[in-house]
Structure formats: C-alpha cells, structure tokens
C-alpha cells in the first residue's frame, strides 16, 4: 500500500485555469475524499492521478515515485468509474480478472484470485453472468473487485455510488468501508454528497472553484470550517454578517454578539452556527450567558425526530432545530432564539 502526493499540481484547459496549484497528501492506507459541488474539478483532479489527464504543472508522486507523464496502465492503480464501465462482452469473472490477465498472471492463480474476490464482495454465484444480467448494486461491487484484483497501489473512485438508490447507497458505503479497511488500500474517493464523505472518509478535502479549500477529518471540517463556502457545503448552518472590531465581538447594524475566544480580528466577518446549537425561547428560559435574536417563524418542517423551523431575522433567515412537542409554535409567531457564544464560529473569508 502506498502514499499519494500531489505537489503544486495545476491544470489549464484552453487558457482557463481549471485546477489551481494544489498540494494534497494521502497517507498510506488512508481514505481521502474530494468533496465539492459539481463543476469544482474534483473528477479532473482524480483523472490526473489516474493519468487520463496530464497536469499542466506540478508533480504527482506515488510512493515517492514520480508518475507524472506515465501512461495509466503503468501506474498500478485501480479505479471504480461512475457508471462502473464493466466490459459488456466479458463475463463477471472475466471482468474481475481483466487486470490479472493484462499483467500476465498465471491462469490458475488468476482463477483462484477471482474466486476469492467474488467471496470478498459476497457474490460467489454470479461468475458466469454478463454485466447486463446483474443489478446495479452487484455491478458496483464487481467494479470494485476488478479494481482491486491486481493489488493496486492506490484505489480511485469517481462517484461510485451515485447511480444507486438511497438504501442501497447506505449499504454500499458500509461495504466499501469494510473492504477498504480490511485491505488497507490507499483510497481517493470523489463525491458531491457530504453525508457520504462524512461516513466514509479519514480525511475530507473540500474543493470549490478549482482549488482545495480545506482539508481535515470529517469532525474538523464540520466543527471548524474555515470559510463560508465550506461551512455552507457541509451540513446546515446559519450565518450572521457583521464586522469584527478587535474586541472579540461581532457588530451588526442593530446589536453586537460575543464570539469564541481567540477571535480578535478586525474587518468584515460572518458568525456561523449550526441549527442544533440554536435554542428557541418558548416555555424554556434562555440562560443568561446566551446571546439572543428576535424573529418571526416562517415555516416549520417535521422531520421525524425533530422539527426544523425557518425564522426570519430581518436581515437573514435562520434554521432552528427543535424537538417536537416541547415547543409548539405557529408560522407568523414572534420568537426569541438564543445560542451559547462558544458554539458559534467566526468566518473571515
């Protein structure tokens, strides 16, 4: 298993910079996800690692070996494509054994390896079928088996679960993680689905506008987003725009709010807070140390175990979580909401 390193890699298409100089490291055995909205060139970045796209500048290293300019077939990479790209004219067993045959592995050993992989993906009985005769979930697992048949140095996955329905997607996330952990394969995964990224990854690299905006564990990305884009992309969050005046308070037109310790910057800033950290004062009394705002309830959406309220605060709309039953409010009602300053984050980008 191997380490992948992108060093100042960039890509220019017809005069337009698609990927700005990017440095990214995937430690051995790690599961890294490139997460971002469509059009943020996460797939282009993946295709540069694969060798389908050559970077305009920078180097790509696998295990300290410079693979920049090396054709894909020499890189010893496995890849799962978005729509699986199984060979329709080959059986499932032949599909899985494709890489073994191309690398001239002995026939008997290949057959044993294919059988072993069919067991690993828990589909021992479909060896002689053709791709058109298996379901989407099965095809997905076959694509994974093909990618790891000849043990790759790196496994690349380009939105592999995108075509599956929600239930199956969740099962497959679990399967993927199990197999990746079991084999300890260094993995680079591309998705636009933040839940998927959270569930699977050791490290998430959030991409936007052709660059990596923030890299960290799912927890770090969620709790300490460094920019408004990252905060907004990962989960739900509320924003309040204002100015920092160096006194650890965010000044808006009408009031000022305390911000977490250490934020003594000045200039334009945004206070960000997750819905679950905002409390509705309705029957409950907000503790003294809480900062508060007043607004009007616009709508409420029942989500099973909790209710999402949209509250109009005049300059912006916030989402507030509340457990059903405890606070019963109606749209149009004036409410006071509050939060503990330490749960808020200040974003200056």
C-beta atoms surrounding 84 within 10 Å: 20
77/329 with CB nearer other proteins: 77
Other beta carbons within 10 angstroms of residue 325's beta carbon come to 7
Nearer to other proteins, 97 or 338 (CB): 97
Contact status: 70 vs other proteins (CB under 8 A): no
Shortest Cβ 83–other proteins spacing (Å): 7
Indicate the residue among 41 and 79 with the shorter CB distance to other proteins: 79
- Positions of E strands within 164-236: 187-191, 203-208, 211-216
Does 29 contact other proteins by CB under 8 A?
A: no
| CB of residue 99 to other proteins, shortest distance in Å | 4
Q: With respect to other proteins, which residue has the nearer C-beta, 95 or 191? A: 95
User: Using the rule CB under 8 A, which residue among 11, 40, 48, 51 binds other proteins?
Assistant: 51
- Strand ordering across the sheet containing 238-245: 256-258, 249-251, 238-245, 266-273, 345-347
Distance CA 190, CA 80 (A): 10
Pick the closer one to other proteins by CB: 88 or 304: 88
Minimum CB separation from other proteins for residue 172, in Å? 19
Cβ-based nearer residue to other proteins, 94 or 193: 94
Residue 129 CA: distances (Å) to CA of 87, 90, 118, 141: 12, 9, 12, 14
Q: Is 73 in the site for other proteins (CB under 8 A)?
A: yes
Which position has the token pair 């005046």?
Answer: 245
- CB of 98 or CB of 339, closer to other proteins: 98
**Tokens 């998927």 belong to which residue?**
196
C-beta neighbour count of 127 within 10 angstroms: 17
| Measured CA angle at 205 (ends 78, 14), to 5 deg | 75
- 91-130 positions binding other proteins, by CB under 8 A: 98-99, 102-103, 130
Instruction: List binders of other proteins among 130-159 (CB under 8 A).
Output: 130, 146-147, 149-150, 156
Angle (deg, nearest 10), helices 136-148 and 166-183? 20
Task: Say if CB 211 and CB 17 are below 8 A apart.
Answer: no
Rounded to a whole number of angstroms, the minimum distance from the CB of residue 96 to other proteins is: 10
The span of 8-16, 77-85, 193-201, 215-223 binding other proteins (CB under 8 A) equals 77-85
Cβ atoms of 99 and 114 within 8 Å: the answer is: no
Q: Does 62 bind other proteins (CB under 8 A)?
A: no
Residues 197, 35 contacting (CB under 8 angstroms):
yes
The contact set with other proteins (CB under 8 A) reads 50-52, 71-73, 75, 77-79, 81, 83, 85-89, 98-99, 102-103, 130, 146-147, 149-150, 156
């Amino acid at each position: 298993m191997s380490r992948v390193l992108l060093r100042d890699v960039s890509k220019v298409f017809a005069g337009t910079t698609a990927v700005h100089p990017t440095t990214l490291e995937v430690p051995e055995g790690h599961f890294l996800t490139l997460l971002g909205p469509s059009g943020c060139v996460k797939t282009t970045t993946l295709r540069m690692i694969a060798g389908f796209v050559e970077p305009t500048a920078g180097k790509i290293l696998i295990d300290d070996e410079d693979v920049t300019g090396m054709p894909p077939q020499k890189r010893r990479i496995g890849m799962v494509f978005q729509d699986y790209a199984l060979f329709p004219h080959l059986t499932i067993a032949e599909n899985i054994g494709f890489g073994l045959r191309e690398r001239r592995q002995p026939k008997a050993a290949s057959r044993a390896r294919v059988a072993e992989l069919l067991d690993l993906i828990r589909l021992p009985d479909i060896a002689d079928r053709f791709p058109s005769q298996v379901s989407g979930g099965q095809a997905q697992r076959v694509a994974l088996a093909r990618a790891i048949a000849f043990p790759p140095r790196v496994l690349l996955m380009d939105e592999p679960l995108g075509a599956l329905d929600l239930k199956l997607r969740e099962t497959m996330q679990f399967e993927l993680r199990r197999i990746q952990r079991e084999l300890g394969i260094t993995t680079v995964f591309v998705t636009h689905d933040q839940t998927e990224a959270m569930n699977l990854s050791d490290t998430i690299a959030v991409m936007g506008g052709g660059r990596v905006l923030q890299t960290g564990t799912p927890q770090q990305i969620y709790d300490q987003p460094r920019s408004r884009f990252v905060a907004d992309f990962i989960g739900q969050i509320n924003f309040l725009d204002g100015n920092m005046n160096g006194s650890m308070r965010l000044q808006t037109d009408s009031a000022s709010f305390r911000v977490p310790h250490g934020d003594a910057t000045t200039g334009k800033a945004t206070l960000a807070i997750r819905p679950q950290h905002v409390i509705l004062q309705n029957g409950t009394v907000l503790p003294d140390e809480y900062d508060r705002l007043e607004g009007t309830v616009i709508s409420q959406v029942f989500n099973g175990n909790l209710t999402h309220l949209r509250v109009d605060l005049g300059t912006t709309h916030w989402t507030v979580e509340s457990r059903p039953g405890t606070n019963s409010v109606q749209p149009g009602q004036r409410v006071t909401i509050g939060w503990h300053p330490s749960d808020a984050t200040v974003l200056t980008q």
